[in-house]
């Protein structure tokens, strides 16, 4: 309960500072609340021309909240906070059945204090619901593996140590198949939230039940669970692709089908990072948010501060589990003498380690070596496994520590020492952010390790005194390993979202493009911290906001009203671009400049034959404040006044260009090219038809554009057939037809 309250405070504190989160999803939630057709497909725009590039599972919850409470930023984020608290509660129950109350309490606390989980749960990205559904699946698997009751319970014992039943309870009926089928259905529901990412942990979930006691019966149950996963996972995809009537273009796909989205952009494209595998569409901007692929990606400067704090502890915990399994029944310590170590109990204990250990290893492997788009916030999926292994590992190592024989007692001080040392190293990567965590971690870690060593050597002389010393040392050890992640987690609600906000939520200090602590070995962009230090562009010719770019970028100095001036790169330049109310959305980003574009460093996308644009920064298309800049208001007012009978008020090339208008007004604005401006939601023949029929008059070439967008034939057609509209601070608005 305490961990749930703590999580609720961290997730729900000062939600007004979050705004509407990720503008892309915020716009979709508003559009989906307009009609049930938009709701089902996950439409991005009110007219239902295209969808977001994810299945709509998480957005369904947000759209229902909007229908219930109205369209407010807190109405989008509140369901996320509630889902985060529920994940803590369900994880506690799952670990309780497997490893007992002490392990469950530690696991719940660790999950509540996981920095990246705090950041994601204060945002409208789909990962929050993904984690909740997978934790619920893990609970169902635990029920199947451990059973519905403890057979022949031993006083003080719990699941793994108390001889749990992994099969039918005498006199009852075997419910393990039902729990496993439920787990499979929950994995399928998670698939409808974020597609193949949900399947990453599926082998660990189903392998855990088989590990509890391999048998043909359990194998049959696992097959039934797999069938449930396939059915529930494919339901939305098949329904969309077999839909007989009109439907939106599926964002992120190459042919408008959900199947292509599944296999390509959200499948092979994420793993291989190539256009042939439905590529990233982002060029270098995707992987750079989390550094280069490699075994140490989770420990680099961009990602480590979000998730890696307790990974060393988890590694030692898995070693302790192997030792406990190998020595159980031969070397016992206080509290273990009366425990039963039958086949059922051993199988139940083994299933938990397979479940959570497999979850951790699988996510580490996929996230570390994926060549496609990788954001640090994806690692929130690791949070439940890190928490469960930390809780069960702490209890297991404490039991080994108290054993009178053997050398396995050294695992606990070793785990504390290496974890505290790693925390100290991470804290020292950002010495200017906060001065106190480094000495706090160093001192408490050293005292904790010293106390554990002293307590062990006092064990033979005075057992009671040794236990007192060891208990105090264990408390100091807990403080040492949790202090830094707690500080990183608290920074999110106290300091507000970072510069990339909804597009890449992170906790703690931000000095790199991917958040976390520094630029990262993979060439992440030295950029903006919470105090407004500069953004920099990675692409040649990019200019940074109030700072200096790298990898071909040059300085972009701060000009009047927060406008970058004369930032020049190696293959182009950023023109003087002034927005009438500041370049950040709602003028929030003082010192903002234009962002890197695919041609000439000229902004989001240079209009045909021109350079420039609205000059908004990265946070403009990443974070939705619910208000428009002066330039955007000018565009909206002009298009409204000269709309005539057009069905579509405004079309933008990219979804991030359309999102601010939809979030702020709910007007009929569409995105022709989806998130990366490469979709064919409105292809060239359709664009010509809409203009000829008078259904579309205005096109704005704004928003983020991905790799290949500069060769789009729609741009050439607009440049040849549409007239530029001259407005103050706007140079990317075109009138077509009429």
Q: Which segment of 229-233, 294-298, 625-629, 717-721 scores lowest on mean pLDDT? A: 625-629
Task: Indicate whether 308 pLDDT > 80.
Answer: yes
**pLDDT recorded at residue 168:** 42
**pLDDT recorded at residue 466:** 83
DSSP 285: G
Distance CA 550, CA 553 (A): 5
Distance CA 625, CA 623 (A): 6
Distance CA 631, CA 581 (A): 8
Classified as helix, coil or strand, 454 is helix
215-224 average pLDDT score: 86
Top-confidence range, 288-292, 608-612, 649-653: 649-653
Which ranges of 195-278 would DSSP assign to H, the alpha helix?
202-211, 216-241, 258-263, 269-272
**pLDDT recorded at residue 264:** 86
Distance CA 74, CA 291 (A): 32
Taking residue 97's Cβ as centre, other Cβ atoms within 10 Å add up to 22
Distance CA 115, CA 506 (A): 8
Q: Please, which residues have CB within 8 angstroms of residue 452's CB and are 6 or more apart in sequence?
A: 401, 412, 413, 416, 470, 473, 474, 477
Query: Contact 504/282 with Cβ under 8 angstroms?
Result: no
| C-alpha torsion angle, residues 306, 307, 313, 314 (rounded to 10) | 180
Give, in degrees to the nearest 5, the angle at Cα 291 between 290 and 295.
100
Report which of 190, 157, 372, 348 is spatially closest to residue 263, judged by C-alpha positions.
372
- The more confidently predicted of residues 146 and 651 is 651
Query: Contact 697/579 with Cβ under 8 angstroms?
Result: no
**pLDDT tens digits, residue range 47-88?**
999 999 999 999 999 999 999 999 999 999 999 999 999 999
**pLDDT recorded at residue 552:** 34
Distance CA 497, CA 17 (A): 7
Query: Contact 131/383 with Cβ under 8 angstroms?
Result: yes
Task: Indicate whether 163 pLDDT > 50.
Answer: no
Q: Which segment of 397-401, 500-504, 551-555 scores lowest on mean pLDDT? A: 551-555
**pLDDT recorded at residue 330:** 54
Top-confidence range, 13-27, 190-204, 339-353: 190-204
**pLDDT tens digits, residue range 450-463?**
999 999 888 777 77
**pLDDT tens digits, residue range 20-45?**
989 999 999 999 999 999 999 999 99
**Phi, psi values for residue 11, rounded to 5°:** -80, -30
Give the pLDDT band of residue 670 (cuts 50, 70, 90): very high
295-320 average pLDDT score: 94
Query: Contact 426/386 with Cβ under 8 angstroms?
Result: no
Task: Indicate whether 690 pLDDT > 70.
Answer: yes
Q: Indicate left, alpha or beta for 123 from its phi (over 0: left) and psi (-120 to 50: alpha).
A: beta
**pLDDT tens digits, residue range 237-281?**
999 999 998 999 999 999 999 999 998 888 888 877 754 434 444
- Reading the block at residue 276, the tokens are 């042939």
537-550 average pLDDT score: 32
393-412 average pLDDT score: 91
**pLDDT tens digits, residue range 93-149?**
999 999 999 999 999 999 999 999 999 999 999 999 999 999 999 999 999 887 643
Interior/surface letters 166-184, b for 16+ CB within 10 angstroms, e for the rest: bbeeeeeebebbebbbbbb
Question: How much of the chain, in percent, has pLDDT values that exceed 90?
Answer: 55
**pLDDT recorded at residue 554:** 31
CB burial class (10 A; 0-12, 13-18, 19+) of residue 720? exposed
Give the pLDDT band of residue 521 (cuts 50, 70, 90): very low
Top-confidence range, 106-115, 299-308, 585-594: 106-115
Task: Indicate whether 317 pLDDT > 80.
Answer: yes
Give the pLDDT band of residue 343 (cuts 50, 70, 90): low
**pLDDT recorded at residue 342:** 59
Classified as helix, coil or strand, 554 is strand
Task: Indicate whether 199 pLDDT > 50.
Answer: yes
170-176 average pLDDT score: 55
- Reading the block at residue 273, the tokens are 């990072």
Report which of 643, 642, 654 is spatially closest to residue 616, judged by C-alpha positions.
654
**pLDDT recorded at residue 703:** 75
- Helices 343-369 and 202-211: crossing angle in degrees, nearest 10, is 160
Task: Indicate whether 393 pLDDT > 50.
Answer: yes
Q: Which segment of 45-49, 175-179, 305-309, 601-605 scores lowest on mean pLDDT? A: 601-605
- The more confidently predicted of residues 575 and 507 is 507
CB burial class (10 A; 0-12, 13-18, 19+) of residue 272? middle
DSSP 526: B
State the sign of the Cα–Cα–Cα–Cα dihedral 698, 702, 707, 711.
Answer: positive
Distance CA 105, CA 61 (A): 29
Top-confidence range, 326-330, 572-576, 733-737: 733-737
Q: What average pLDDT does the structure give for the chain?
A: 79
**Phi, psi values for residue 363, rounded to 5°:** -65, -40
């Amino acid at each position: 309960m305490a961990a749930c309250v703590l999580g609720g405070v961290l997730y729900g504190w000062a939600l007004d500072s979050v705004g509407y989160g990720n503008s892309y999803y915020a716009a979709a939630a508003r559009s989906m609340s307009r009609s049930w057709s938009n709701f089902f497909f996950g439409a991005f725009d009110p007219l239902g021309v295209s969808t977001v590039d994810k299945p709509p599972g998480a957005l369904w919850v947000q759209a229902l909240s909007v229908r219930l409470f109205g369209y407010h930023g807190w109405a989008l984020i509140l369901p996320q906070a509630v889902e985060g608290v529920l994940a803590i509660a369900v994880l506690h129950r799952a670990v309780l059945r497997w490893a007992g109350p002490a392990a469950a309490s530690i696991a719940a606390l660790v999950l509540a204090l996981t920095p990246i989980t705090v950041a994601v749960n204060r945002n409208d990205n789909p990962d929050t619901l993904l984690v909740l559904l997978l934790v619920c699946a893990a609970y169902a698997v635990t029920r199947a593996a451990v059973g519905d009751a403890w057979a022949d319970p031993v006083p003080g014992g719990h699941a793994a140590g108390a001889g749990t039943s992994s099969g039918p309870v005498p006199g009852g009926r075997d419910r393990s198949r039902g729990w496993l089928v439920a787990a499979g259905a929950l994995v399928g529901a998670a698939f409808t939230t974020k597609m193949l990412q949900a399947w990453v942990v599926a082998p660990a979930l189903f392998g855990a039940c088989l590990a509890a006691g391999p048998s043909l019966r359990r194998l049959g149950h696992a097959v039934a669970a797999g069938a449930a996963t396939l059915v529930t996972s494919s339901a939305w995809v098949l329904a969309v692709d077999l839909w007989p009537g009109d439907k939106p273009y599926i964002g992120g796909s190459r042919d408008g089908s959900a199947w292509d989205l599944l296999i390509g952009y959200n499948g092979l494209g994420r793993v291989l990072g190539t256009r042939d595998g439905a590529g990233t569409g982002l060029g270098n901007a995707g992987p750079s948010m989390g550094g280069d692929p490699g075994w140490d990606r989770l420990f680099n400067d961009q990602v480590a501060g979000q998730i890696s704090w307790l990974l060393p502890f988890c590694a030692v915990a898995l070693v302790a589990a192997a030792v406990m399994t190998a020595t159980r029944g031969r070397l016992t310590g206080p509290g273990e003498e009366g425990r039963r170590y039958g086949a059922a109990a051993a199988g139940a204990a083994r299933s938990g380690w397979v479940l959570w250990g497999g979850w951790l290893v699988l996510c580490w492997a996929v996230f570390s070596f994926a060549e496609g788009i990788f954001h640090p916030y994806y690692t929130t999926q690791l949070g439940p496994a890190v928490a469960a292994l930390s809780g069960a590992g702490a209890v297991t190592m404490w039991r080994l520590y108290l054993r009178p024989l053997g050398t396995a007692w050294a695992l606990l001080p070793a785990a504390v020492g290496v974890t505290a040392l790693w925390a100290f190293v991470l804290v020292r990567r950002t010495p200017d952010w906060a001065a106190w965590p480094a000495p706090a971690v160093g001192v408490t870690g050293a005292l904790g390790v010293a106390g554990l060593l002293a307590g062990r050597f006092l064990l033979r002389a005075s057992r009671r005194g040794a236990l007192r010393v060891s208990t105090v040392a264990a408390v100091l050890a807990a403080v040492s390993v949790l202090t830094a992640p707690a500080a990183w987690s608290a920074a999110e609600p106290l300091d507000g979202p970072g510069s990339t906000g909804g597009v890449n939520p992170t906790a703690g200090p931000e000095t790199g493009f991917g958040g976390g602590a520094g630029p990262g070995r993979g060439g992440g962009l030295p950029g903006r911290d919470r105090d407004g230090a500069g953004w920099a562009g990675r692409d040649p010719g990019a200019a940074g906001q109030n700072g200096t770019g790298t990898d071909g970028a040059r300085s972009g100095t701060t000009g009047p009203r927060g406008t970058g001036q004369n930032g020049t790169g190696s293959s182009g330049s950023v023109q003087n671009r002034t927005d009438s109310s500041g370049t950040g959305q709602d003028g929030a980003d003082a010192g903002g400049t234009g962002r890197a574009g695919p041609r000439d460093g000229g902004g989001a996308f240079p209009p045909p034959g021109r350079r420039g644009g609205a000059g908004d920064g990265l946070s403009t298309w990443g974070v939705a404040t619910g208000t428009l800049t002066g330039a955007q208001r000018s565009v909206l007012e002009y298009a409204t006044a000269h709309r005539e009978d057009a069905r579509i008020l405004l079309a933008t090339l990219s979804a991030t260009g359309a999102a601010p208008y939809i979030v702020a007004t709910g007007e009929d604005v569409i995105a022709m090219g989806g998130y990366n401006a490469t979709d064919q939601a409105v292809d060239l023949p359709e664009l010509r038809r809409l203009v000829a029929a008078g259904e579309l008059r205005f096109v704005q070439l704004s928003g983020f554009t991905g790799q290949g967008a500069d060769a789009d034939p729609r741009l050439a057609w607009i440049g040849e057939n549409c007239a530029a509209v001259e407005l103050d601070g706007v140079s990317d608005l075109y009138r077509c037809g009429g």
